[in-house]
Amino acid sequence: MTAPIVRRSNQSGQSKQPERASSLLLASRRFAAWAAEITLVVTSGLIPFGIGVYANSRSDLNRVPLNPVLVVIERAIARPLALPVSYGIRNVAWPTNILWTIALLAPVTLSWWQLYLLAKTGSTIPKRWLKVRVVNEQGKPPGLGAVVIREGVGRWTVPISIAYLLWRYSFAFPNLGLFTFLSLLMIVGEGIGLPSRRGRRALHDQLAGTHTIDALLASNRQVQSAGGNDEAEEWQEGNEELAVAQSNKSPNLWRRIQQNPNLTLFGVGLTSMTAVLATLIGTQVYIQIQQSQRATQQINSQQFLEIVKQLSPNSGATNEQRQSAILAMGGLNDPQSIKFLADLLVSETNSSLLDTIQQALTTVGPQAIPELKNKNQFLVSELESVGSTATKERELRQGRLQRNQRTINKILSVYSGKIEGVDLSSTQLGQSGTPGSSFFNLVLDSLDLSGVKFKSANLNQASFKGSRFRSAGEDGRWDTYDDVMADLSQAQLQQANLTDANLSRVLMNRTDLSRATLNRANLSNARLYDAKLNSTQLVGADLRNAVLEKASLTGADLGDAKLNEANLYAARLGRATAIGTQLSFANLTNTDWQGADLSGAYLDRANLSNANLSATRLAGAVLRSAQMENVNLQNADLSLADLRGANVTGADFKGAILAPSKQDPADQFVQTPDLGSISAVVQGVDFSQAKNLDAKQLAYICTQGGIHPRCP
């Protein structure tokens, strides 16, 4: 039996170099198999996602709200990566919902299927192709538990967690490029492995107690072993003995516990005692806190009752004493004292005491807002119940409402930047009263109103000049998940002044901004779905990437506004002024621009499919590579417009002006693009499938380099 062992040893020494070459080849095949696995998973998600994006760009498909599950997952991914998300449920084409759901489920299903194959057979499909196999210490498939530890913990969780911590607390946060680089670096480093008794083993193999072997070489050895010769038998026996020896040298955690029961019992006992002690201490602290709170409440209740006695009509207290008592009431900062002050603000008639009550409520701060909001809604309902003929009663109730409104206004002004989460939904803060009598107008200029909920609130004619409705959040960085935004959805902001206001990413769905002033306001990425912006001033406003789907902008002034990549699907822009407006790459599908002025506007690569541009002025507009299928251009003025590369299939040119005319001196302020020469306006544009081209238009197209079957 000794001769085969010596012979095997000699053969081992002679084959040292080939074994190294085989090891190197195995490493390259392992990497190729891993890359193929990742490619399969990623591709299974990217293909349906890409098709969904294409379907969403189609204008002929019905649009539905995005699947709520996808919204939740989007935010769950965005939060740790500090990504901005689209707030609110956006509308997508109906196939997009299905395809994006498949894009979510397909990678998850494929990943679990590969894990199952790896657990039961030791190989995924790519590993089987490349003859790579994963086995446990006994040479068998690892099983599901070991595979979850190997892939879920060792291969992905550990390296990506380290990369995330390094990235999250580095100077480059939230740069995703650096995080991607660190993640790849950690994954590759973990895959290279650490030295062990059997050579280098990856961390995920060491954690799971697995080995990655050459399946082809293992198969050959099994064939040799099945041959029945003494040398193969001794080689197999020697390997088994070596495995047992190594297993004994490197016992796992369970074996160590079995070998050291006393140490295990000591650890369990120490852990139990620590848990019991922590529970007792925590319980005692909780009891003391509760006792302290009860004592404080009792003291506050006694002080409250004493102050109420001083403020009663029969107390005989002087005006100064009552003022001191009111200020002391505000210092209690107690729910019952806040409610008492809010009620007193309505019932009191003494002007000096009213000022003191407002001061006391302002001292309380944002904690007084909920009670003031409830009182505000009650006063509004009372005012609505009073008939228009009862003038005195109406003025009395109007005065009470105005005092409430002024107090809220003052609290918001004093605590600017510290009112995140304040809920003023459905509150009446709009202009009230008549100019001839007592009058209230909400003024919150140059304030930080981030995080305030104004949903369905009446803010008509309010002034928010230079105010911020968005802040960077706790991390101090813009465009991350924790950015704090106000909620202005369904709010009434008619004739409000929002000049230079920051409304970026703010939710403003179905908000009424008719005749409001938003000049130079920042509305980038804001959501204005079905919003009313009729006759609104938006001169120089930033609306890049904003969602204005189905919004009404009839008569709005969009001069020099930036609407690059904005979504205006089915928006109504009749008679709008958009001179020099930037609409590059914007989605203008099904929009109605009838009678609008788009002189000098930049519409390059915009999607104008099925848009109504009848009777519009497009003199000097840039329409390069624009999608203009089935667009209505009846009686539109396209003189000097740049149509190079535009798709005008099905476009209706009935009565449209293509030939340039002499420029009116009164319109010389319009900046027209430098076209080089007039012949470049329609040069190379295919008008073969355009509709209602008359003889004059055809003559111009043919002489200026356009394409049409009737051109000579």
SS3 637: strand
**The amino acid at 369:** I
For residues 348 and 304, give the distance between their C-alpha atoms in angstroms, rounded to a whole number.
Answer: 18
Region 382-392 average pLDDT: 79
For residues 139 and 133, give the distance between their C-alpha atoms in angstroms, rounded to a whole number.
Answer: 10
In this prediction, residue 51 has a pLDDT band, given cuts at 50, 70 and 90, of very high
| Contact status, residue 515 vs residue 480, Cβ threshold 8 Å | no
Element (H, E) at 234: helix 230-249
**Tally of CB atoms within 10 A around 619:** 25
% of the chain residues with pLDDT over 90: 46
CB within 8 A of 474, min separation 6: which ones? 482
SS3 667: helix
Show contacts of 317-320: CB within 8 Å, 24+ apart: 319/350, 319/352, 319/353
- Residue tagged 């935004």 (tokens): 485
Q: What pLDDT does 242 receive?
A: 43
| Contact status, residue 503 vs residue 526, Cβ threshold 8 Å | yes
Judged by average pLDDT, the poorest of 404-413, 492-501, 527-536, 656-665 is 656-665
Phi first, then psi: what are they for 31, rounded to 5°? Answer: -65, -40
CA angle 237, 240, 244 (to 5 degrees): 140
In this prediction, residue 285 has a pLDDT band, given cuts at 50, 70 and 90, of confident
Q: What does 351-395 look like in DSSP terms, one character per residue?
A: HHHHHHHHHHHHHHGGGGHHHHHHHHHHHHHHHHHS-TT-HHHHH
% of the chain residues with pLDDT over 70: 83
For residues 87 and 76, give the distance between their C-alpha atoms in angstroms, rounded to a whole number.
Answer: 13
SS3 329: helix
pLDDT digits (tens, 9 = 90+) for 189-220: 887 765 555 556 788 888 888 888 887 776 66
Element (H, E) at 91: strand 91-93
The pair of structure tokens assigned to 15 is 């084959």
Q: What does 138-188 look like in DSSP terms, one character per residue?
A: TSS---HHHHIIIIIIIIIIHHHHHHHHHHHTSTTTT-HHHHHHHHHHHHH
Q: What pLDDT does 243 receive?
A: 47
CB within 8 A of 76, min separation 6: which ones? none
**The amino acid at 264:** T
SS3 348: coil
For residues 127 and 475, give the distance between their C-alpha atoms in angstroms, rounded to a whole number.
Answer: 43
For residues 458 and 493, give the distance between their C-alpha atoms in angstroms, rounded to a whole number.
Answer: 7
- Residue tagged 């507009």 (tokens): 621
| Contact status, residue 351 vs residue 413, Cβ threshold 8 Å | no
The pair of structure tokens assigned to 111 is 């990943």
CB within 8 A of 644, min separation 6: which ones? 624, 625, 680, 681, 682, 683, 684, 685
| Contact status, residue 204 vs residue 178, Cβ threshold 8 Å | no
For residues 557 and 539, give the distance between their C-alpha atoms in angstroms, rounded to a whole number.
Answer: 6
Show contacts of 661-667: CB within 8 Å, 24+ apart: 667/599, 667/619
SS3 503: coil
For residues 533 and 531, give the distance between their C-alpha atoms in angstroms, rounded to a whole number.
Answer: 6
The pair of structure tokens assigned to 588 is 């203008």
Is the predicted pLDDT of residue 175 greater than 50, yes or no?
Answer: yes
In this prediction, residue 645 has a pLDDT band, given cuts at 50, 70 and 90, of very high
| Contact status, residue 632 vs residue 690, Cβ threshold 8 Å | no
The pair of structure tokens assigned to 668 is 């010389």
Output 30 or 579, whichever has higher pLDDT. Answer: 579
pLDDT digits (tens, 9 = 90+) for 220-255: 666 555 554 554 454 444 444 444 444 444 445 555
Q: What pLDDT does 245 receive?
A: 45
Task: Give the DSSP letter of residue 678.
Answer: G
CA 89 to chain centroid, in Å, comes to 11
For residues 58 and 589, give the distance between their C-alpha atoms in angstroms, rounded to a whole number.
Answer: 9
pLDDT digits (tens, 9 = 90+) for 399-424: 899 999 999 999 999 999 999 999 99
**Tally of CB atoms within 10 A around 249:** 8
SS3 for 238-271, per residue?
HHHHHHHHHHHHCCCHHHHHHHCHHHHHHHHHHH
For residues 425 and 370, give the distance between their C-alpha atoms in angstroms, rounded to a whole number.
Answer: 10
Phi first, then psi: what are they for 468, rounded to 5°? Answer: -110, 130
pLDDT digits (tens, 9 = 90+) for 95-110: 998 999 999 999 999 9
Is the predicted pLDDT of residue 74 greater than 80, yes or no?
Answer: yes
For residues 442 and 458, give the distance between their C-alpha atoms in angstroms, rounded to a whole number.
Answer: 10
Q: What does 419-478 look like in DSSP terms, one character per residue?
A: -TT-B-TT-B-S-EE-TTSSEE--B-TT-B-TT-B-TT-B-TT-B-TT-BSEE-TTTT-T
Is the predicted pLDDT of residue 680 greater than 70, yes or no?
Answer: no
Phi-psi category of 520—alpha, beta or left, where left has phi over 0 and alpha has psi -120 to 50?
left
CB within 8 A of 36, min separation 6: which ones? 126, 129, 130
| Contact status, residue 36 vs residue 87, Cβ threshold 8 Å | no
| Contact status, residue 475 vs residue 442, Cβ threshold 8 Å | no
Of 433, 412, 425, residue with least CA distance to 458: 425
Evaluate the omega torsion of the peptide bond into residue 251 and state whether it is cis, within 30 degrees of 0: no
| Contact status, residue 615 vs residue 592, Cβ threshold 8 Å | no
Q: What pLDDT does 662 receive?
A: 52
For residues 74 and 512, give the distance between their C-alpha atoms in angstroms, rounded to a whole number.
Answer: 29
Distances (CA, A) of 383 to 348, 392, 409, 514: 18, 12, 20, 25
| Contact status, residue 135 vs residue 211, Cβ threshold 8 Å | yes
Q: What pLDDT does 638 receive?
A: 93
Output 576 or 180, whichever has higher pLDDT. Answer: 576
The pair of structure tokens assigned to 509 is 């769905």
For residues 539 and 579, give the distance between their C-alpha atoms in angstroms, rounded to a whole number.
Answer: 10
